[in-house]
Amino acid sequence: MANTSADKPNIRQVARLAGVSHMTVSRVLNEYPHIKEATRRRVLEVIEELDYRPNMAARALATQKSQRIGVIVESAVEFGPTSTLRALEATARGTGYAVSSIALEDGHRISPQEAVDNLTTQGVDALCVVAPRSSSIAALRKISINIPVLVVKPDKDPSFLTVSLDQKEGTTLAVDHLVSLGHRDILHLAGPLDWLDARARERAFHARAKSWGVRERPIVVGDWSADFAYDFAKGIRDRPDYTAVFVANDDMAVGLIHGLHERGIEVPGDLSVVGFDDVPLAAHVLPPLTTVRQNFRALGVAIVDLLRAAIEEREIPRVTKIPAELLVRSSTAAPRGEDS
DSSP character string of 178-240: HHHHT--EEEEEE--TTBHHHHHHHHHHHHHHHHTT-EE---EE--S-HHHHHHHHHT--S--
Contact between 320 and a copy of itself by CB under 8 A: the answer reads no
Q: Which stretch binds a copy of itself (CB under 8 A): 14-22, 48-56, 176-184, 212-220?
A: 48-56
Measured from the CB atom, is 86 or 263 closer to a copy of itself?
Answer: 86
55-84 residues near DNA, rule: CB under 7 A: 55, 58-59, 61-64
Q: Which stretch binds DNA (CB under 7 A): 47-55, 71-79, 177-185, 268-276?
A: 47-55
What type of residue sits at position 267?
V
Contact between 257 and a copy of itself by CB under 8 A: the answer reads yes
327 contact partners, CB below 8 Å, separation of at least 6: 278, 282, 283, 290, 291, 292, 293
Measured from the CB atom, is 15 or 229 closer to DNA?
Answer: 15
Give CA–CA dist 34/279, Å, rounded: 51
Residue of 149, 191, 168 whose CA lies nearest to 292 = 168
Q: Which stretch binds a copy of itself (CB under 8 A): 17-25, 41-49, 97-105, 195-203?
A: 97-105
Residue of 96, 94, 98, 92 whose CA lies nearest to 30 = 96
Q: Closest approach of Cβ 93 to DNA, in Å?
A: 19
Give CA–CA dist 71/88, Å, rounded: 9
Size of the site for DNA (CB under 7 A): 32
Contact between 113 and DNA by CB under 7 A: the answer reads no
Binding mask 270-289 for a copy of itself (x = CB under 8 A): ---------xxx-xxxx-x-
Measured from the CB atom, is 76 or 139 closer to a copy of itself?
Answer: 76
Contact between 103 and a copy of itself by CB under 8 A: the answer reads yes
Q: What share of the chain is helix, strand, coil (3-state, %, to 5)?
A: 40, 15, 40
Phi and psi (nearest 5°) for 128?
-130, 130
Contact between 122 and a copy of itself by CB under 8 A: the answer reads yes
Q: Closest approach of Cβ 281 to a copy of itself, in Å?
A: 5
**Enclosing H/E stretch for 295:** none
Per the CB < 8 A criterion, the answer to whether 293 and 325 are in contact is yes
Measured from the CB atom, is 14 or 279 closer to DNA?
Answer: 14
108 contact partners, CB below 8 Å, separation of at least 6: none
Per the CB < 8 A criterion, the answer to whether 217 and 202 are in contact is no
Q: Closest approach of Cβ 118 to DNA, in Å?
A: 16
Among residues 12, 93, 210, 321, the one that binds a copy of itself under rule CB under 8 A: 93
Measured from the CB atom, is 8 or 321 closer to DNA?
Answer: 8
Residue of 49, 46, 48, 20 whose CA lies nearest to 35 = 20
Binds 100: which of a copy of itself, DNA, none (CB < 5-8 Å by kind) = a copy of itself
Contact between 23 and DNA by CB under 7 A: the answer reads yes
CA torsion, ordered 40, 46, 49, 55, to nearest 10 deg: -90
What type of residue sits at position 95?
T
Q: Closest approach of Cβ 267 to a copy of itself, in Å?
A: 10
Q: Which residues bind DNA (CB under 7 A)?
A: 8, 10-12, 19-24, 26-27, 29-30, 32-36, 38-40, 52-55, 58-59, 61-64
Q: Which residues bind a copy of itself (CB under 8 A)?
A: 2, 6, 53-58, 60-61, 66, 76-77, 82, 86, 89-90, 93, 98-103, 106-107, 117-118, 120-123, 144, 146, 225-227, 230, 251, 254-255, 257-258, 261, 279-281, 283-286, 288, 297
